[in-house]
Structure 1
């Protein structure tokens, strides 16, 4: 594939060349309507469907016949390259030529350029409106001139011909081959960088290989993979826009192809397009699996999050809940239920917010919350407060993460656990979350709830299965020591969030966050001293913390500096991802290893440390001439989000291997090993 800019320049050059070759001054055509190029490669004949009748529509046809199988013609919108037909007819006075009617075209992809073509013999019908008062004696003398392009995979030749209508032709078959126009008008909307179309189509219509041919030129990316969803008797198509186009349309026309030459024409006006629907076609990996497999995948993915590296920093919270669960059966059950409620509510809430943002046109994915500096600051404050609470600096009398038997504490633990545990997608979970972004809202939220249930399942079982609780250590004084030990991993979490704050907003942003954090810890220290003295403590917190919080409210926004797009530090010296860079790398004829990561994704960083950043992998890549490319999703990036969505991925990590030959990449597992990467390169 070529660089998209090169592709569009090539398409423009081909179209301009074709127009220059076939353009003839009007005066010259009037003086002598003679064909300059002829129709040797694709011949054309004008035929009429019987004799015209006054006041009725009369049908003419242009029958195109290639001289050899390698020649092809073009639809009215030829795609990225080529030239549509230009027709002039000399009709009796008052007779009007209608819009040409085409069969369903085929697609031809050459070097990244998508062409809308016809192979073999085909006919274009031209309706003619005959006046009611027309005097008709036999076949009218209808002449004309047509200009078009004949191409092979390697060469294009302009064609033209002088036309004179005769009778004959297979109009019954030709009419059947024309895509019929739907009676109902559809709707379309342009959201973000996508065109979304709602086509009224009965659910009973089979769509083995759907594809939309958009008649509006330079609106959509013709070569992009299209996604199709069904919502009752409405077919919803999503097509990426042409990044070099206008991105606007007053009305929309096109052909919806079903496959095997069948299809319908449609017209659409601007309006609301339903969200969601059952995915029936799309990029590889996006076809919706059976619902039961998605449910099991979400449940298993949530369960495995308990041991994924990205969840390790919050294991201290879970460990304390685990220890407290053995105190009594009633407390164990209430804590298990409260913890589960917190986890499920957080997952459903995050999922609902994600779906709402996407429906509003925002290009966001799973773990989008950690791409927002303000959310990371809130998490940093929470992690710090929990750390000093574990360390015994102060107590939360009514809502504590560390005091057993309090459902409120277990519920808050569940909320925070789910919020911090969802940045990375693990095994089984990726397919379910990818499908959730495309399913109807109700089913999508059910998958998010199942994800939360899987995450909370171990603690729910401990609460309701006495045999499991009996294996836990008995409560005792050791728990206070354990609580203080657990301050260490929570403190490490806070340090990681400080680092992420600097990555997101710059050093000044991180420094001001530390100043505000110092004030909060100082205020909590004052609270702890007053608590030990038996005095009223929390008003003092407000007095001490208020100046620091006010400082943070003004200083943090003003000091925020959005980071530039820089590739991660790597022994491979990877290229920073963009669609243009990927197209250029693939056009080089070398294999490409592309990975998507984020600074807040611990799984990503572990994979990079144990697999990608290994000397054996570097040597194997160098020997095979592998081009490495990284997409950094630490900060929201619409281009990366769209790419992930197109691959059926809801978040990171994502690892793709493009072979030197072939169009589609191989998606590698989310847990990498050096041997796996070395084998790919060999």
Structure 2
């Protein structure tokens, strides 16, 4: 919002007499004197009162708190239950009760009034006009002792007319993890409830309480959860699901399954799909056997995700799948297992390995081998977050244990679906060579690519062990990954020329081999380049210092094991348009690297209410969150950076 729009109408249109508007409520604090500020307080145009339906209650009784906003004609406040741009202040109502109080205000079941919409300088905004009433249900414990119990009610808001806005009231922190101001803590009105053994008859004012939906008490007493809205954002396409009800929860399960399915298209999983196709092709002549092996693999995939759901539901502090890869020994262990599987697949290697290696690398044609491959496929997927999956998993982490397990099972089912379909359709895989030099060559190339994956996991694990935040992690392991990729491409091209004289296969597989070689070399060069952005690595002190200086902050949550993070960084954040804006003096790019154990980084991830990465957050010069997304476009980032600074960065002169 342009502050000039606020200043002129206030200076010309309002005089000192406006401070004498009747109805100012001392319990919510007096507005600052006109001489001490260029803006008048929003309470000059809005009178707030808190009314209890019953102030004398018996144990087990219900009551309602009504927070009434009475606004002058032509003025409005912003809706508290709708999305609005971050430069505006939505209405908030907060309550606070002493620890151990038997009087409970159920803030999560707040009932907001109907809203209107206005066009404010091109923004369509939801507002409340006239008299707006916010309802909060209150219950008293059945074993409450007689006495007087106090509830503090705070209402933060900003009032505007068609041209300008007044200074907001004291307001809760708008920055994740921010400390409440002294003004906010001292602000508000106390309501006293008297609990007595003798009922006292009272009749709530129907004009005040007639809009309250009393059915909410039945839901509260039955232990039902309040509405749980899950927001999804896929490259600018946004939608929400209320997962509290049965229908909404089914939609959440569908979104989780779609996310699981899309995991197969991420760089974590896509390279190993041909390996499973080869395994299934060996049984393509036996439909029942092929279906059995495909089902066994699906069981392995689903079992892994259910196990993760159990961990999230049962273990304190374990809230996201990618937390596993913040334990370097886990990452190294995954890499070692993949390397052993690769060695077992490559006929290139004549070294006889210990028997235990073959025990953990059973054949694809066995039930144990298929289940194990399913588990390994799921493990490999965890560094990546597919569209829809991150939001679904984050919502599941705060649900009941049963619902948590169902959401993670849905992710597993979605991920297992392609393999189940392949096992039910032998014609899709029966063209794969099953024996002979061509089959051996494919196994060798797949083995070398798996060794590249092993080098990736072992390298990121070692990097996590050696890195101490906020120092950046080492990138040397990418050269080892690239070397195995170059070897795979070169071996495919060379061996194709040796085992066949047919021009078609030579052209196709020779071209594929050269492409793998070139892409691998490019990856080595690209991913060891620190890039055109001069990142500041996150610490709470650096973040606080940047906010105190009024910097626009571009915060990128990433890790060396997060391939989606790398893809977004190289394709979106390093786009020339983004780089130009980030280079401005008013902008500070901060990278939160979660490669290893980074408690401060994890705390910041939790503060912005996310569990998984990749994640990008943009804070404006006031410290307010302007943008947050896990899959984003160049246009979204550019728009967010411009919205975070006034005038827009792109329009600034030299």
TM-score by length of 2: 0.54
1:311 aligns with 2:269: yes
Displacement of 1:381 in angstroms is: 2.2
5 Å-filtered alignment, 1:119-134, equals none
Equivalent residue for 2:403? 443
In 1, are the aligned partners of 2:297 and 2:372 still within 8 Å (CA)? yes
Work out the CA distance in 2 between the residues paired with 1:350 and 1:609: 30
Q: 1:454 aligned to 405, 411, 414, which one?
A: 414
3-state SS in 2 of match to 1:600: coil
Which residue in 2 is equivalent to 1:420? Answer: 380
CA contact (8 A) 2:177 2:607 kept: no
Alpha-carbon contact 1:656-1:668 (below 8 Å) kept: yes
Structure with greater strand share of residues: 1
Query: Residues 663-682 of structure 1: matches in 2 within 5 Å?
Result: 663-668=624-629, 670=631, 672-673=633-634, 677-678=637-638, 680-681=640-641, 682=650
Cα distance 1:428–1:283, how it changes in 2: closer, same or farther (>3 A)? closer
Q: Which blocks of at least 5 consecutive residues in structure 1 are unaligned?
A: 1-40, 43-65, 84-110, 124-173, 187-194, 227-238, 246-252, 265-273, 515-567
2:432 is aligned, of 473, 476, 479, to 473
Deviations 1:209-242 (A, max 9, x none): 788997599xxx983589xxxxxxxxxxxx9796
Higher mean Cα deviation, 347-356 or 658-667?
658-667
Shift of 1:181: 6.2
Distance 2:539 2:55 in 1: 38
Cα distance change of structure 1 residues 176 and 648 upon mapping to structure 2, 3 Å threshold: closer
CA contact (8 A) 1:462 1:469 kept: yes
CA drift of 1:304 comes to: 1.1
Contact 1:325-1:331 within 8 A present in 2 as well: yes
Superposition map of 1:392-407 within 5 A: 392=347, 393=351, 394=353, 401=361, 403-407=363-367
Structure with the largest fraction of helix = 2
Contact 1:299-1:454 at 8 Å conserved across structures: yes
Q: What residue number does 1:334 align with?
A: 292
Any idea what SS the aligned residue of 1:433 has? helix
Q: Flag the 1:302–1:497 CA change in 2: closer, same or farther, 3 A.
A: same
Distance 1:370 1:446, change over 3 A: same
1:422 Cα offset (Å): 1.3
Structure 2, unmatched stretches of 5+, are 1-15, 63-98, 113-133, 138-149, 155-169, 183-189, 194-206, 213-221, 234-239, 478-528, 642-649
The answer to whether the 8 A contact 2:266-2:386 is kept is yes
The answer to whether the Cα contact below 8 Å between 1:343 and 1:456 also exists between their aligned partners in 2 is yes
Give the conservation status (yes or no) of the 8 Å contact 2:24–2:43. Answer: no
Alignment-derived partner of residue 183 in structure 1: 59
Against the structure 1 CA distance between its residues 243 and 481, is the aligned structure 2 distance closer, same or farther, given a 3 Å change threshold?
Answer: farther
Corresponding position of 1:598: 559
1:594 partner SS: strand
CA drift at 1:204: 12
1:644 is displaced (CA, Å) by 3.5
Correspondence 1:229-378 to 2 at 5 A: 277=225, 279-280=227-228, 288-289=242-243, 290-312=248-270, 314-315=272-273, 317-357=275-315, 360=316, 362=317, 364-378=319-333
Aligned in 2, Cα 1:466/1:301: closer, same or farther, shift over 3 Å?
same
Specify whether residues 636 and 319 from structure 1 end up closer, same or farther in structure 2 by C-alpha distance, changes over 3 A only: farther
Q: Deviations over 1:534-569 (max 9, x none)?
A: xxxxxxxxxxxxxxxxxxxxxxxxxxxxxxxxxx95
Q: Corresponding residue for 1:621?
A: 582
For residues 179-213 of structure 1, give each alpha carbon's deviation from its aligned partner in whole angstroms, at most 9, with x where no partner exists.
67683599xxxxxxxx9999868999763478899
Q: State the shift of 1:306 in Å.
A: 0.9
1:475 Cα deviation from its structure 2 partner: 2.1
| Alignment: residue pair count | 433
Whether contact under 8 Å (2:550, 2:623) holds in the other structure is: no
Once the two structures are overlaid, the 10-residue window that deviates more, 387-396 or 473-482, is: 387-396
Structure-2 residue corresponding to 1:464: 424
2:340 maps to what in 1?
385
> Relative to 1, partners in 2 of residues 1:623 and 1:338: Cα closer, same or farther, differing over 3 Å?
same
